[in-house]
Structure 1
Amino acid sequence: MLDNNKIKAIIFDVDGTLRDTDDEMVRSVELFLLKFEFLISSKKAQTAARNIVMRMENPAQVILHYADKWGWDKFIHQLIHGIRCLLRPFKNTKNFQTIEGIKPMIIALAERYPLAVASAGDEKTVRAFLAQAGILEYFTCVATALTCPHTKPFADPLIWAALQMGVEIENCVMVGDTTVDMMAGKNANTQTVAVLCGFGEREELEALNPNLVLRTTADLTDVLIPS
């Protein structure tokens, strides 16, 4: 159970938590597959794209974790950047999708708590999304893939964010949509809130015993600011 009285700051993941990344990725892969329309129909391309994205997420998180652990993180992030550049012609990078209800939630929470971001994404993309969503100004700090020696699920970016916000790490809550977010929170000794609007499945998230599981991130407003 979430102990509201203990919370003095909130740390958010971005992809799947604030940003509707899965739909963006599905559309990018779908457009790529449609280049081979002589092999696959548009209907099958959409289904195949969603299956590919959903199956890629957990292996990708595992790869990033061990890359970080073994000191390959810069190489891996350069490789990911190269892949994104190849996919860029198939997507509109200026039109990020925001999970419904995020902006009013962030505005309401920022009146009561300092807020931070802890993302495994690259800084340029993360800040571009936050700016387009109109919420960048509400965050005290933004930790991205290379901000700290190690990224999630290590505790480093969460501890760094707590320091920037001037609060003890145990008084923070980590909000995210994947097992990596939950592990990062556990490793940093924060409370954890799992959301089901991103890549993580309820069963795998609940296996890590988060303090709370929400249908979508925007529901956090009702939990922390009761009417």
Structure 2
Amino acid sequence: MTQIPFSEIQAILFDMDGTLIDTDDEMTKKVARWLRPLLGERGNQLARWIIMKIESPANALITLADKLHLDEPLKWFTTWRYSRRKEPIVGNFHIIPGVLEMLHAIPENYRLGIVTTRSRHQIEGFLAQVPELAPRFEVTCGSQDTRRLKPHPSPIQEAARRLNLPETACVMVGDTSVDMHSARRAGAWRVGVLCGFGKEPELRRAGAQLILNSTADFAQLVQQK
């Protein structure tokens, strides 16, 4: 795989779901609760299998929507759905083990950002949960910030523009092929992680130049450079 020149990287952009926060695990638990009365503990294994089978087609659908220029209606629906929630989404995210320690360990010379399809309200909710780290994230780019969603390159390009950096000075860290496609099309470097539901073969096909077992392992890369 292509060697990423971390000595030349100036900004690290993180996806949220499956990369910083373990939303896939939360979905699995919800499905398992439905199955457990019928299958007992076997419901847990079946629930994870179901979510894994759904994840890849869902990412493929998002990519197809982008190719057909239908991602704007998809973005509108997502924004509308979250606007219907009664309670604020603040402080209730399950952060992937080791991620907080990893973020603390990233040297100060790297600028950090979040690029996600979640809403600005949800990004702010995540940052409110980690107030000691929130100042490190110089840029956030969510569903309201660009006309097109990942896998379109616009979110990566917008984050780089706000940092006043070329895309080639940025590395995108994400768990899905959608993240990799977006970064590749923008000209950014790409690190895939396996702590979400993305699988190594599909991440490689989508253009991942490096694959880690978990986002928590990322700090080791930049500390060595």
Report the TM-score, using the length of structure 2 for normalisation: 0.84
Aligned twin of 2:113: 116
Query: Could you tell me how far 1:115 is from its partner in structure 2?
Result: 0.8
Amino acid at match of 2:98: G
SS in 1 for 2:7: helix
User: What percent of counterpart residues are identical?
Assistant: 33
Farther off after superposition, 152-161 or 94-103: 94-103
Aligned twin of 2:94: 97
The answer to whether the 8 Å contact 1:178/1:194 transfers is: yes
Aligned twin of 1:12: 14
The CA RMSD measured in Å over matched residues stands at 2.9
Amino acid at match of 2:51: V
The answer to whether the 8 Å contact 2:62/2:151 transfers is: no
The answer to whether the 8 Å contact 2:72/2:147 transfers is: no
The answer to whether the 8 Å contact 2:19/2:96 transfers is: yes
The answer to whether the 8 Å contact 2:66/2:152 transfers is: no
Q: Does 1:30 align with 2:37?
A: no
Structure 1 counterpart of 2:143, from 130, 142, 145: 145
Aligned twin of 1:3: 5
Q: Is the alpha carbon distance of 1:50 and 1:133 closer, same or farther for their aligned partners in structure 2, counting shifts above 3 Å?
A: farther
- Give the distance between the partners of 1:119 and 1:152, measured in 2 at CA: 8
- Give the distance between the partners of 1:49 and 1:113, measured in 2 at CA: 38
Q: Counterparts in 2 of 1:1-227, with a 5 A limit?
A: 1-31=3-33, 33=34, 37=37, 40-70=38-68, 72-73=70-71, 75-77=73-75, 79-80=77-78, 94-109=91-106, 111-134=108-131, 135-226=133-224
The answer to whether the 8 Å contact 1:28/1:87 transfers is: no
Amino acid at match of 1:96: F
Amino acid at match of 1:130: L
Amino acid at match of 2:31: V
The answer to whether the 8 Å contact 1:69/1:150 transfers is: no
Count of aligned residue pairs for this structure pair? 221
The answer to whether the 8 Å contact 1:176/1:182 transfers is: yes
Query: Could you tell me how far 1:120 is from its partner in structure 2?
Result: 1.4
Report the TM-score, using the length of structure 1 for normalisation: 0.84
The answer to whether the 8 Å contact 2:177/2:206 transfers is: yes
Q: Which runs of 4+ in 1 moved over 4 A?
A: 68-72, 77-88
Amino acid at match of 2:21: R
SS in 2 for 1:140: strand
- Give the distance between the partners of 2:73 and 2:181, measured in 1 at CA: 23
Structure 2 runs not aligned, ≥5 long: none
Q: Is the alpha carbon distance of 1:166 and 1:201 closer, same or farther for their aligned partners in structure 2, counting shifts above 3 Å?
A: same
Query: Could you tell me how far 1:202 is from its partner in structure 2?
Result: 1.2
Q: Is the alpha carbon distance of 1:85 and 1:148 closer, same or farther for their aligned partners in structure 2, counting shifts above 3 Å?
A: closer
Structure 1 runs not aligned, ≥5 long: none
- Give the distance between the partners of 1:144 and 1:181, measured in 2 at CA: 13
Farther off after superposition, 152-161 or 201-210: 201-210
- Give the distance between the partners of 2:127 and 2:56, measured in 1 at CA: 24
